[in-house]
A and B are shown apart, each in its own frame.
Chain A
């Protein structure tokens, strides 16, 4: 029967008992046979057999059939950590990757940091993962040494075996029952493999969830189903911060499939529980359908009055002024501008708010159970979140419970991009469940998701630069016009004195002005960097053009001599690494090659998240301003690569996501209301416009760092610079559709 495979795999997953090999066998995709039986020592059976599997440490379990279970403590949102982090463990352990089965861990302090963002996971967890693998390896070696009564120094591991110098060997499975009795090694005694001995790190591994993803099995938050569950929707004021005066609840309750509808007053916190209408039904459609028929009178006296058009007007009035806040001021900027022999160029750049548009809209399933007989209430939660450890305390605080009354299960995330740090969808689902005394799966509509986002903040920058007679950059003045909410700069709206090229220049000034907004903003793939790169790398090209010089040569000159800009901090810009990636990207792209009219190459470099990345875009523009991005050539230095396939995916995806964003995406608001709601007014890049992407890694001898974000920022200026090369038109406003371009 057709669904046999599906049902068996599903059952195995539900029981979490399925071994990696069993899993592959079921699916008809085998990863090579197990041939070790022939080499077993005759007394192997006497080593004992584990029933099930047992822990070697927090992250590693072993069973007698040889299955190695490695926990992934950090959620996977598409950045690939559920594959790459266990690869590090398996490498140090000497495991064979085909024996490894990866499970998402529960939430707990013992797992260390569990949040995902900031391209942080590889950098933050590399050493811990190595320790877990090395620790498991030492316990297996200890078990073998004890069995053969030989010194442990004479043993090594490889391919899921412990091997003695003499050639005698045990499988990990054979040693499982003895290994778990070995003392946990001292952390300081652990040694790690040399990079040249790696057999897993640096190779290409297909994601551990790929079989489940491609067969459509339940694993995202939105797929959660628990017994006795109802479906929920939550409707908030379209002007952020409004509260409910009245609503047509009687009419709503009479709609098909609707079980209940009620007003929720909330606590007024955007990141927790805002006022709104809760609707409960027997299907997602029932509550979505009812939501469309809701008529609510809102009190908007305390709601956002934000207007993008007003922000644009205010900012354009500031473009010839300096900001009140001095970020950096060094050398003699004004003297250079005043010098008659210097040439000066000015540019005013604009970038919009954008939405996250995770493919999986915000959702959460919660079960609020009132305590019986003096017991405290308890709450169970299933949620796709980037910040697992924040969920319990937030909900506990909201309902006056201790954190140990909250149990949180983390699912796979259908995209994150910085959106899934907040907990308002968690709080909303818990409140719905509390009201109806049943588990509730809350699903936001796409319209909710776009109108109630924590947006990538928009902003403006006014730049002025001077070139001397020799064609050198001699003055740089940058006025950053950002946004603040409740007196604080929002995520992505900070201007640092360390922002390239300020530290590299002798005469440089950076000032800022902050405009007040009420619209919630939050991290969005490479916060700050995704807009700074566009402005700075475009303006450097403007200056190179003014100087009449080659952009590549000019950019390398701005980078200056090879050095760490903040010596001792390996997460600071290293101009040597910057020069190397920029040079390599240009070379691989054929920089300087002759191109037909209407076709050009554009170059950009950006440093963020400890990553040095340069990109060259080859772009044609036709007479209707239709763009074709033929190819993007990328050079990346993030140190050693863990999963080559995953790393390539992150870079290629960043290029396409960056292009999608720059071409047509823009969130605007008037009277506090977000004006976009779905794909008809928020266009995204489709497959026909996807360029070829050619990626080159420089695997420098620096600690490995992450790639979820830093591939995105250089894309916009690379394409903008290519448009200039092709047409002579300078793009200073995003999205490109504002200047008449399309793909």
Chain B
């Protein structure tokens, strides 16, 4: 057992863990942050995606000993201030989730995409999101929600207020915009 000081969602966290323990299980079993999910354990499904210094990584195959002083952001730390991240809002507005299990990983991959490319086209989205599997088949709404969040991110810069999202969404705004 070794001691590690990790930067998790902007806070310094001390954990005791075996060096080989993947970051996923440190987050889930040691720190109680269960938003990153176990799906395959081999970095193939993307359900465990978190950011390491802003880059999307599969936390199920990243040894805690290899994290070092890199800044880890998990879904729990994605929203800043008092509101949701534009992607989280878009995910709710587009009612993307079915079972919902893979969606935190999907959102983390999408957030890394938007951070590097604020106006992705469908091909950019497909390339960035191809590592995230969804058994329920929500891909069409994932594309639509990323486009929608990209628009909101653009237009809200320097403007007061933020988009209003409710769990009640009028029918006409729910139609897919692909």
Residues of A with Cβ closer than 8 Å to B? 2-6, 24, 27-32, 76-80, 97-98, 203-211, 213-218, 220, 222-223, 225, 231, 256-257, 283-286, 288-289, 357-361, 412-417, 443, 445-446, 644-646, 648-650, 652-657, 660, 678-680, 684-688, 690, 692-693
Q: Does B39 contact A (CB under 8 A)?
A: yes
Measured between alpha carbons, how far is A213 from B95 in the docked complex, in Å?
11
- Assuming the A-B contacts A2-B10, A206-B167, are A214 and B140 also in contact, with contact meaning beta carbons closer than 8 angstroms in the complex? no
Nearest B residue to A257 via CB reads: B18
User: Given the complex, which residues of B lie within 8 Å of A3, measured CB to CB?
Assistant: 9, 11, 76-77
- Assuming the A-B contacts A220-B101, A257-B18, A678-B42, are A657 and B137 also in contact, with contact meaning beta carbons closer than 8 angstroms in the complex? yes
User: Given the complex, which residues of A lie within 8 Å of B135, measured CB to CB?
Assistant: 357-359, 415, 417, 657, 660, 684
User: Given the complex, which residues of A lie within 8 Å of B143, measured CB to CB?
Assistant: 687, 690
Tally A-B pairs: CB < 8 A: 263
Measured between alpha carbons, how far is A75 from B17 in the docked complex, in Å?
35
Nearest A residue to B80 via CB reads: A2
Nearest B residue to A359 via CB reads: B101
Cβ contact within 8 Å between A284 and B10: no
Q: Does B69 contact A (CB under 8 A)?
A: no
Residue in B40, B91, B171 whose CB lies within 8 Å of A679:
B40
Measured between alpha carbons, how far is A414 from B168 in the docked complex, in Å?
24
Q: Does B82 contact A (CB under 8 A)?
A: yes
Q: Does B151 contact A (CB under 8 A)?
A: no
Interface size class of B (residues with CB under 8 A): 35 or more
Measured between alpha carbons, how far is A3 from B18 in the docked complex, in Å?
27
- Assuming the A-B contacts A32-B166, A645-B169, A649-B95, are A216 and B137 also in contact, with contact meaning beta carbons closer than 8 angstroms in the complex? no
- Assuming the A-B contacts A211-B92, A687-B132, are A653 and B138 also in contact, with contact meaning beta carbons closer than 8 angstroms in the complex? yes
User: Given the complex, which residues of A lie within 8 Å of B139, measured CB to CB?
Assistant: 656, 687, 690
Cβ contact within 8 Å between A216 and B74: yes
Among B33, B95, B125: residue with most chain A CB under 10 A: B95
Nearest A residue to B82 via CB reads: A28
As a 0/1 sequence over residues 40 to 65 of chain B, the CB contacts with chain A under 8 angstroms (1 = contact) are 11101101000000000000000000
Residue in A284, A653, A686 whose CB lies within 8 Å of B25:
A284
Measured between alpha carbons, how far is A360 from B37 in the docked complex, in Å?
8
User: Given the complex, which residues of B lie within 8 Å of A214, measured CB to CB?
Assistant: 75, 84, 88, 91-92, 97, 103-104, 107
Measured between alpha carbons, how far is A231 from B133 in the docked complex, in Å?
26
Within the complex, what minimum Cβ distance (angstroms) separates A546 from chain B? 34
Residue in A2, A28, A206, A414 whose CB lies within 8 Å of B95:
A206
Nearest B residue to A415 via CB reads: B99
Within the complex, what minimum Cβ distance (angstroms) separates A544 from chain B? 29
Cβ contact within 8 Å between B97 and A207: yes
6 closest Cβ contacts across the A-B interface? Answer: A216-B35, A656-B137, A414-B101, A78-B99, A78-B98, A216-B75
- Assuming the A-B contacts A2-B80, A6-B79, A78-B99, are A285 and B25 also in contact, with contact meaning beta carbons closer than 8 angstroms in the complex? yes
Measured between alpha carbons, how far is A549 from B47 in the docked complex, in Å?
48
Residue in B1, B9, B136 whose CB lies within 8 Å of A657:
B136
Measured between alpha carbons, how far is A256 from B135 in the docked complex, in Å?
34
Q: Does B83 contact A (CB under 8 A)?
A: yes
Cβ contact within 8 Å between B29 and A29: no
Q: Can you give 18 A-B contacts (C-beta < 8 A)?
A: A5-B83, A27-B84, A29-B166, A78-B97, A97-B168, A203-B170, A208-B167, A210-B167, A213-B91, A214-B92, A215-B76, A285-B21, A288-B41, A359-B39, A414-B101, A652-B141, A656-B137, A660-B135
Measured between alpha carbons, how far is A413 from B135 in the docked complex, in Å?
13
User: Given the complex, which residues of B lie within 8 Å of A413, measured CB to CB?
Assistant: 99
Measured between alpha carbons, how far is A446 from B74 in the docked complex, in Å?
22
Nearest A residue to B36 via CB reads: A216
Nearest B residue to A651 via CB reads: B137
Measured between alpha carbons, how far is A207 from B45 in the docked complex, in Å?
24
Measured between alpha carbons, how far is A138 from B100 in the docked complex, in Å?
36
Cβ contact within 8 Å between A686 and B28: no
- Assuming the A-B contacts A214-B104, A216-B104, are A31 and B174 also in contact, with contact meaning beta carbons closer than 8 angstroms in the complex? no
Residue in A284, A657, A690, A693 whose CB lies within 8 Å of B38:
A284
Q: Does B72 contact A (CB under 8 A)?
A: no
Within the complex, what minimum Cβ distance (angstroms) separates B41 from chain A? 6
Measured between alpha carbons, how far is A593 from B106 in the docked complex, in Å?
37
Q: Does B142 contact A (CB under 8 A)?
A: yes
Scan residues 3-28 of chain B and give those whose CB is less than 8 A from a CB of chain A: 9-11, 17-18, 20-22, 25, 28
Measured between alpha carbons, how far is A656 from B137 in the docked complex, in Å?
5
Q: A214-B92, A360-B37 known; 10 other A-B pairs, CB under 8 Å?
A: A3-B9, A6-B79, A216-B36, A231-B29, A257-B18, A284-B29, A359-B133, A361-B38, A414-B102, A415-B135
User: Given the complex, which residues of A lie within 8 Å of B37, measured CB to CB?
Assistant: 220, 222, 359-360, 414
Measured between alpha carbons, how far is A421 from B136 in the docked complex, in Å?
18
Q: Does B159 contact A (CB under 8 A)?
A: no
Cβ contact within 8 Å between B42 and A679: yes
Q: Does B126 contact A (CB under 8 A)?
A: yes
- Assuming the A-B contacts A5-B79, A215-B79, A644-B171, are A77 and B99 also in contact, with contact meaning beta carbons closer than 8 angstroms in the complex? yes
Among A216, A283, A656: residue with most chain B CB under 10 A: A216
Cβ contact within 8 Å between A688 and B126: yes
Within the complex, what minimum Cβ distance (angstroms) separates B92 from chain A? 5
Cβ contact within 8 Å between B170 and A204: yes
User: Given the complex, which residues of B lie within 8 Å of A204, measured CB to CB?
Assistant: 95, 169-171, 173-174
Within the complex, what minimum Cβ distance (angstroms) separates A86 from chain B? 12
Scan residues 125-178 of chain B and give those whose CB is less than 8 A from a CB of chain A: 125-127, 129-143, 162, 164-171, 173-174, 176, 178
User: Given the complex, which residues of A lie within 8 Å of B34, measured CB to CB?
Assistant: 216-218, 222-223, 225
Measured between alpha carbons, how far is A415 from B36 in the docked complex, in Å?
16
Cβ contact within 8 Å between A215 and B84: yes
Residue in A211, A357, A648 whose CB lies within 8 Å of B167:
A211
User: Given the complex, which residues of B lie within 8 Å of A285, measured CB to CB?
Assistant: 18, 20-22, 25, 29
Cβ contact within 8 Å between A687 and B129: yes
Nearest A residue to B75 via CB reads: A216
Within the complex, what minimum Cβ distance (angstroms) separates B51 from chain A? 13
Among B29, B132, B173: residue with most chain A CB under 10 A: B29
Residue in A206, A217, A680, A692 whose CB lies within 8 Å of B35:
A217
